[in-house]
């Protein structure tokens, strides 16, 4: 028993939860914050999904919607901070659900979390490829003339390969890259804002930024008033914020590699949300004030590239796009790191087919096979992006937005499950060093309600052509989020009843238990007792 009590505080807490230290615990608290901040990436989501906000409400939906939705997301993050402080494990959300709600809750949570992370990998990497292509097109007329969806897809594959190589090489290198990424996002976003303030000859009025609305969906005849616009079109704009400010569960997934994890990972979650919310709003407002011709932006599909072309011209616009693309690459690398750590933890507990491969570490203590399979799945998930789609005469990446929605639904529903069970447990919950106190009573309920609403919105058709059983219906317009998410849930339900419930027992211990101790819970009590009554290295 002396070996256990000689462990560091982090290793000791991990042992109490049933795991031995396998991953390299070399990440600082700043690095833990940095990976969530990098995955949120205002240089990614604010650029790639700006069109979602513009087409479904316009400037007013973005300028008011971002801060309002951000506050709700911060509440979700604060609830998760309390959970990671109590249970700092790589399994993160899945482990919390298993601990608080039982094996079945953990099983579904883990799979939803994994599906969401894989979709985020795909969407961010594809966004990075798109903006690299746009940046090149700004600097070269010949490159612009040769545009095709196939070319963007090839760039997307190259980005995924580079992401995988960086992740395979070294966990220490990843920590360094994420630290650099924070400053790239801060300096890069500041540079973009200054360029958009200084270079354009004129700026939009405050009235147009905060009151003008747009309906570029084709629903309700393009009307920007009435019940249909308020209750159907406008809520779709929330996906801009909900998608951009996500992935902060990375702080939990990397907690086994973080020093002082119970406190550092908790801060990493809520601080990454708060700083991203402020920075993202400033960035989005700079886009909106730079608009020269609202009708032109709408006709161009609501993308930021149109705004930059209007306000900056090719060269300055190309620089802004390049700054964003580099930030998106940093984000992509961090996303894959988070995904593979979740896959590692879930596979360690034998919940995934082929678990022996995805939980295997190379000499650098990196789950190399997990990295490779994550990249392959991202490619398969994004194949529909090769289909060209026009809505109201404007090119709209329906498939890309569908992958975005899959990520939003998968991740946020996974977040909601342990938050709900924590609320049900009430004061019986044993918090870590970072706690909400009695505020959990209302914050957990607000978090779950917000997730329920936005997840429902993410399942809705985004254009008239995607509404089933109508004359305009075509498969290329379909938001296939419900097909993927509901289909996955059906498959998981079948898998659970046919096979999983007979062998899956939830989180498995990897630590060697001392004589006379039969479970992690008993070990935790044993260690707590020894710490209280026999302190010191010889206890």
Q: Which residue stretches of 87-170 are H helix?
A: 93-101, 103-139, 141-145, 149-169
How many CB atoms lie under 10 A from the CB of residue 468?
7
Q: Name, of 91-95, 115-119, 351-355, 448-452, the range with top average pLDDT.
A: 448-452
pTM: 0.86
- Report the C-alpha gap between 215 and 235 in whole angstroms: 12
| Structure confidence at residue 512 (pLDDT) | 61
| Other CB atoms within 10 A of residue 22 CB | 16
Three-class SS of 360-423: CCCCCCCCHHHHHHHHHHHHHHHHHHHCCCEECCEECCHHHHHHHHHHHHHHHHHHHHHHHHHH
Query: What mean pLDDT is predicted for residues 420-435?
Result: 93
Q: What is the pLDDT of residue 401?
A: 74
Q: Report the alpha-carbon distance of residue 204 to residue 202 in Å, rounded.
A: 7
Radius of gyration of the chain (CA): 23
Higher model confidence: residue 398 or residue 25? 25
pLDDT at 169 over 60: yes
Distance CA 97, CA 102 (A): 7
Residue 533: exposure state from Cβ atoms within 10 A (0-12, 13-18, ≥19): exposed
Confidence of residue 484 (pLDDT cuts 50, 70, 90): confident
**Chain segment 221-233, per-residue pLDDT in tens:** 999 999 999 999 9
Beta strand spans in 196-241 (E): 214-215
- Whether 365 has a pLDDT exceeding 60, the answer reads yes
pLDDT band at 34; cut points 50, 70, 90: confident
Which of 411, 393, 499 has its CA nearest to residue 455? 411
* Local confidence band at 538 (pLDDT 50, 70, 90 cut-offs): very low
Whether the CA torsion 37, 38, 42, 46 is positive or negative: it is negative
Closest CA to 216 of 274, 295, 334, 158: 295
What number is the average pLDDT over the span 78-90?
Answer: 90
Q: pLDDT value at position 28?
A: 79
So where are the chain's domains?
31-208+231-457+468-504
Tens digit of each residue's pLDDT (9 = 90 or more) over 179-202: 888 889 999 999 999 999 999 999
Predicted confidence (pLDDT) at residue 532 exceeds the cutoff of 50 = no
- Report which DSSP code applies to 306: H
- Structural element, H or E, at residue 56: strand 56-57
What six digits make up the tokens of 310? 């209007």
Q: How far is CA 510 from CA 83, 98, 105, 338, 348, in A?
A: 21, 16, 21, 21, 9
Query: Cα(first)–Cα(last) distance of the chain, in Å?
Result: 8
pLDDT tens sequence across 366-389: 788 999 999 999 999 888 888 877
Residue range 469-479: mean pLDDT, rounded: 85
SS3 category, 194: helix
Task: Flag the least confident range among 2-11, 19-28, 118-127.
Answer: 2-11
Q: Regarding predicted confidence, which is higher, 350 or 426?
A: 426
Instruction: Report the range of poorest mean pLDDT among 69-73, 86-90, 284-288, 360-364.
Output: 360-364
Strand partners, 258: 27
C-beta separation of 175 from 250 below 8 A: no
Question: Strand, helix or coil at 57?
Answer: strand
The total of other beta-carbon atoms located within 10 Å of residue 532's CB is 8
CA dist 215 to 53, 241, 305, 443, 493, Å? 10, 18, 19, 33, 38
Average pLDDT, the chain: 86
**Tokens for 469?**
């059983």
Predicted pLDDT at 395: 58
Structurally, what CATH architecture does the domain formed by 31-208+231-457+468-504 represent? Up-down Bundle (1.20)
């Amino acid at each position: 028993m002396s070996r256990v009590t000689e462990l560091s505080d982090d290793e000791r807490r991990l042992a109490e939860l049933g795991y031995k230290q396998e991953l390299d615990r070399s990440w600082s608290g700043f690095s833990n914050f940095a990976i969530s901040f990098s995955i949120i990436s205002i240089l990614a989501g604010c650029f790639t999904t700006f069109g979602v906000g513009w087409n479904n409400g316009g400037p007013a939906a973005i300028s008011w919607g971002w801060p309002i939705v951000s506050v709700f997301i911060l509440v979700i993050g604060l609830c998760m901070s309390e959970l990671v402080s109590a249970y700092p494990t790589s399994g993160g959300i899945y482990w919390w659900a298993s601990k608080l709600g039982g094996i079945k809750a953990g099983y579904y949570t883990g799979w939803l979390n994994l599906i969401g992370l894989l979709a985020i990998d795909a969407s961010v990497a594809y966004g990075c490829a798109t903006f690299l292509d746009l940046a090149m097109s700004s600097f070269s007329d010949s490159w612009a003339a040769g545009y095709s969806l196939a070319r963007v897809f090839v760039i997307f594959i190259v980005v995924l390969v580079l992401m995988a190589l960086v992740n395979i090489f070294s966990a220490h290198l990843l920590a360094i890259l994420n630290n650099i990424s924070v400053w790239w996002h801060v300096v890069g976003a500041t540079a973009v804002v200054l360029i958009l303030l200084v270079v354009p000859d004129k700026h939009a009025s405050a009235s147009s930024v905060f009151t003008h609305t747009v309906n570029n969906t084709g629903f309700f005849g393009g009307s920007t008033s009435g019940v249909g616009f308020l209750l159907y079109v406008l809520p779709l704009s929330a996906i801009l914020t909900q998608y951009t400010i996500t992935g902060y569960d990375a702080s939990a997934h990397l907690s086994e590699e973080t020093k002082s994890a119970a406190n550092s990972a908790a801060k990493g979650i809520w601080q990454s949300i708060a700083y991203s919310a402020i920075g993202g709003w400033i960035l989005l407002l700079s886009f909106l004030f730079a608009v020269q011709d609202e009708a032109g932006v709408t006709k161009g599909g609501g993308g930021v590239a149109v705004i930059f072309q209007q306000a900056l011209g090719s060269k300055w616009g190309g620089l802004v796009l390049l700054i964003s693309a580099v930030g998106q690459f940093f984000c992509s690398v961090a996303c894959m790191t988070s995904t593979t750590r979740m896959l590692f933890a879930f596979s360690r507990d034998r919940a995934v087919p082929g678990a022996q491969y995805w939980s295997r570490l190379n000499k650098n203590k990196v789950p190399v096979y997990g990295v490779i399979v994550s990249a392959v799945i991202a490619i398969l998930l994004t194949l529909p992006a090769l289909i060209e789609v026009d809505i109201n005469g404007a090119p709209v990446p329906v498939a890309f937005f569908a992958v975005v929605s899959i990520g939003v639904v998968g991740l946020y529903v996974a977040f909601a499950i342990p938050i709900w069970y924590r609320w049900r447990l009430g004061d019986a919950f044993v918090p870590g060093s970072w706690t909400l106190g009695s505020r959990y009573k209302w914050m957990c309920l607000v978090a779950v309600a917000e997730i329920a609403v936005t997840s429902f919105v993410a399942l809705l058709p985004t254009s008239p052509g995607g509404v089933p059983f109508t004359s305009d219906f075509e498969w290329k317009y379909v938001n296939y989020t419900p097909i993927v998410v509901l289909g996955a849930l059906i498959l998981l339900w079948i898998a659970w009843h046919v096979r999983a419930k007979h062998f899956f027992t939830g989180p498995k211990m990897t630590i060697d238990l001392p004589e006379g101790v039969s479970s992690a819970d008993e070990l935790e009590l044993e260690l707590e007792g020894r710490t209280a009554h026999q302190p010191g290295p010889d206890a």
